[in-house]
Amino acid sequence: MKTRIQFLTAWILVRVQTVTANLDPEILQWPGGMIIALLLWPYLVARPATNP
């Protein structure tokens, strides 16, 4: 069980790091930046799966 939890946390951290590497933090400073970032999140997650 401990190994599974460690694997899951590592996987989540890698996914978050991958997505945030493509997200400009300056977007959060714009008016409504948090909403824009939340709308861009699914696109950035799905994009690697759609690119050859």
d(CA 38, CA 42): 8
Q: How confident is the model at residue 47 (pLDDT cuts 50, 70, 90)?
A: low
What is the reported pLDDT for 9? Answer: 92
| pLDDT at residue 36, as a whole number | 82
pLDDT of residue 22: 66
Summarised one tens digit per residue, pLDDT across range 17-44 is 776 776 677 777 778 888 887 888 787 7
What is the value of pTM for the model shown?
Answer: 0.47
DSSP string covering 7-44: HHHHHHHHHHHHHHHSS-GGGGGSTTHHHHHHHHHHHH
Task: Please report the pLDDT score of residue 29 as a whole number.
Answer: 78
Q: Report residue 13: phi and psi, to 5°.
A: -65, -40
Phi first, then psi: what are they for 6, rounded to 5°? Answer: -65, -40
